[in-house]
Amino acid sequence: MTKQTSPSNSPLAENIVETNSSSILKNRLLQILNNRIWHIFIIVVAAICAAGTAVQFVSIDMAVVAGLTVFCIGLWATAAVPEYWPALAFFLVAVVFEIAPAEVVFSGFHSSTFWLLFSGMVIGVAIRHTGIGKRAAGLLSRMLGLRYSRVILGIVVFSVLLAFVMPSSMGRIVLLIPIIIALADHMEYSSTSNGRIGMLTAAAFGTWLPAFAILPSNAPNMILAGMAENLYAYDVSYWSYLLLHFPVLGLIKAGCLVLLIVWMFPDRDPVHKELYKDDNVAMNSTQWHLVALLGVCLAFWLCDGIHHISPGWVGLAAALYCLWPYSNLTSKNCLDKDIKYGSLFFVAGIMGLGAVISSTGLGEVMVQSLSGFAGFSSERPLWNVIALTVISTLVALLASLPSVPAVMSPISDNLASITGLPLGTVLMTQVLAFSNVFLPYQSPPLIMAMQLGNLPLGAMSKLCIALFVCSTLILIPLDILWWHFLDVF
């Protein structure tokens, strides 16, 4: 009789077992490497090393602040924990170890910027509650043309306009992405098509990227304004900020965004159908009520140079009215169910961290090393602006975009003294940096857009890099030229 070979003992079976074991081991190693506990461990070690190194050159308080800064910014950059957790940890450590007075640690809560972010959240809830969001979808569907390029242009234009009336970038993305998904489905763009990716990236980038040129419309803008107010009593005017940044970083960058999306994600023209059958139904009184409120709010923001009321307090007044039980603009449980407070603690924490850096004197130590490295000179204002922009861009690359004002604002006064530039000019160079994103991890709104729209990381990264190159080589030099025309430096 011929001897049968047991399947379990055959060379093929042994290869399969070996391959499966190798695959399991590989997957296990990847799980370990991707485990966020390792990220947290590395950040903690880096923070301890930073504090241990700094204590050799500066006081203990400064060294603790240096380690705390590395710890907080590292966690914010990697998103290893929710964004509010490092902020709360900062409050605890700073108060328990008495690194700075409590009014400095918690100064972010005193800023009008904090309340502007809060009011943006409330206004966003009111827009959804009253049905204005669906009306906006109907308006958007009529704005879109018959060609794919016109669809992308219409989405970007609508997204930029929305940034003027809805301060919270998170709120705008939460409102827009579901609308664009519905439109993409109706236009018969599949879940993996370039058309859907193009429409979703147009909405996400269109309502977020040009909004860096609109003062109350993105978190880094508000953090910068809040820290300028807290540290230097410097009031950033809505209109002056808009004039300084929007022509290039707003309008021209929006145009570049449209061209890049159409070029990088080409697709067929959309299938147009009637989407909203009740568009002709008149708006109800509650919707007109909210539209009127938003109009008044926008008018006050645009005229802040006349009445000198901070955008934060204007927004808080609007939010207070929205929360009035008899206005019917929000639900009775709005504050309990509809408002997410994590981002509020994040903003308060990052502003408080900047104030502590300034209060302990660590900012002065940092500026001394930066000035020697950058070669600042009061006789070269153009070089000073470029060098400051490069330094802020490096901070944004190493951490997240909101980290730029947290790190750079506390040392801006010293930088102004060294460079001979006005304090306002030094502060505004941060906008050139935090409006120039290199990868999605730098921006929480982009991460949220990826999650809501199921956008591939590769496509988002590719568009980010293309925009970064375009901004660095064309838009930033053009914006600096515009600044020179306005006699900013």
Q: What share of the chain is helix, strand, coil (3-state, %, to 5)?
A: 75, 0, 25
Determine the Cα angle at 400 with ends 422 and 440, to 5°.
Answer: 125
| Domain boundary assignment for the chain | 20-99, 109-485
Please tell me the distance from the alpha carbon of residue 475 to that of residue 30, in angstroms, as a whole number.
Answer: 40
pLDDT at 434: 92
Burial 128-140 (b: 16+ CB within 10 A, else e): bbbebbbbbbbeb
CA proximity to 348, closest of 238, 208, 211, 219:
219
Read off the DSSP letter of residue 293: H
Please tell me the distance from the alpha carbon of residue 346 to that of residue 85, in angstroms, as a whole number.
Answer: 8
Please tell me the distance from the alpha carbon of residue 80 to that of residue 464, in angstroms, as a whole number.
Answer: 22
pTM of the model: 0.68
CA proximity to 400, closest of 446, 341, 462, 362:
446
358: exposed, middle or buried (C-beta count within 10 Å: 0-12, 13-18, 19+)?
buried
Please tell me the distance from the alpha carbon of residue 38 to that of residue 102, in angstroms, as a whole number.
Answer: 32
CA proximity to 460, closest of 265, 187, 307:
265
pLDDT at 335: 84
Which residues 6+ apart lie within 8 Å of 372 measured at CB? Answer: none
Q: For residue 231, report the phi and psi dihedrals to the nearest 5 degrees.
A: -85, -40
Assign 186 to helix, strand or coil. helix
pLDDT at 1: 47
Mean model confidence pLDDT for the chain: 82
Determine the Cα angle at 339 with ends 334 and 340, to 5°.
Answer: 155
Q: How many helices (H) and strands (E) does the chain have?
A: 26, 0
CA proximity to 434, closest of 235, 172, 169, 255:
169
100: exposed, middle or buried (C-beta count within 10 Å: 0-12, 13-18, 19+)?
buried
- Residues written for the chain: 489
Residues of the chain with pLDDT under 70: 1-36, 77, 133-134, 136-139, 141, 272-281, 304-305, 363-364, 367-368, 370-371, 398-400
How far is Cα of residue 383 from the mean position of the Cα atoms in its chain?
Answer: 28
Q: Which tokens hold the place of 363?
A: 């900012």
Please tell me the distance from the alpha carbon of residue 352 to that of residue 99, in angstroms, as a whole number.
Answer: 12
pLDDT at 244: 93
pLDDT at 473: 94
Residue type, 380: R
Please tell me the distance from the alpha carbon of residue 187 to that of residue 144, in angstroms, as a whole number.
Answer: 11
Which residues 6+ apart lie within 8 Å of 472 measured at CB? Answer: 436
